Chains A and B, each alone.
Chain A
Amino acid sequence: MSAVLDILSAVLLLVGTLFTLIGGTGLLRLPDVFTRLHGASITDTLGAGAILLGLALAAGWSLLMGKLLALLLIMALLSPSTAHALARAAIHGIRKPWLDEAQK
């Protein structure tokens, strides 16, 4: 049972690592603030969620697991709020999202 939990924890950590790298690459390479926001939000929800779940499985039943799940809940609530506020401020300040040639 412990080996199963260790393997599941490692898989979740690697999935979170993969999504964090994908989101970071999107944050660096995408053409516009709104598309970059999409890349950064991936790392905040899916990457952080998978990494914290993997760490909670590695911690076992303890106060530490409760704190990790509390951190997961806080990040799941606050990251979309931040993304929404940033998109709202950016659409007031920029007013012109990026479009490619086919959509213009």
Chain B
Amino acid sequence: MTLTITLIALLVTMAFALIRAIKGPTVYDRILASNALGTKTVLMITVLGFVVGDPELYIDIALMYVLIGFIGTVAVLKVSEFGNLGQPQSHTDPEDP
């Protein structure tokens, strides 16, 4: 019963984050909303594993999801701040090894 309440609240929060991602208005609001959506998805996968009665299977998926979500958010932030991901051809200083 408690797990079901938690699952529904997580889905409502995911809907809020999705509305914020659609409304914007800046690109940082969208990145923040997609990051919050990913975090809520991790929690939802974990709680869903307990609800369906097979949590050992679902917790591994959640562990992978949180790491990939962090890398994706930081990559999008780096692109939005510097314009690239730090490619080798952007390295122009000949004195710096």
Contact = CB atoms under 8 A, between A and B. Distances in A.
Interface in B39-56: 39-40, 42-43, 46-47, 50, 55-56
Nearest to B19: A28
Nearest to A78: B70
Interface residues of B, number: 43
Contacts of A75: 39, 42, 66
Given A89-B28, A93-B81, A43 B6 contact: no
A91 to B, nearest CB: 10
B27 to A, nearest CB: 8
B47 A51 contact: yes
Size band of the A side of the interface? 35 or more
Interface string B42-80: 110011001000011001101100110010011001001
Contacts of A74: 63, 66-67
Interface in A7-46: 9-10, 13-14, 16-17, 20-21, 23-25, 27-28, 33, 36-37, 40, 43-44
23 contacts: A13-B2, A14-B5, A17-B6, A23-B13, A24-B12, A27-B13, A28-B16, A40-B35, A40-B36, A51-B6, A51-B43, A52-B43, A52-B46, A55-B47, A64-B56, A67-B60, A71-B59, A78-B70, A88-B81, A90-B26, A90-B28, A92-B81, A94-B26
Give the 7 A-B residue pairs with the shortest CB-CB distance, closest first.
A24-B13, A24-B16, A90-B28, A28-B16, A17-B9, A40-B36, A89-B81
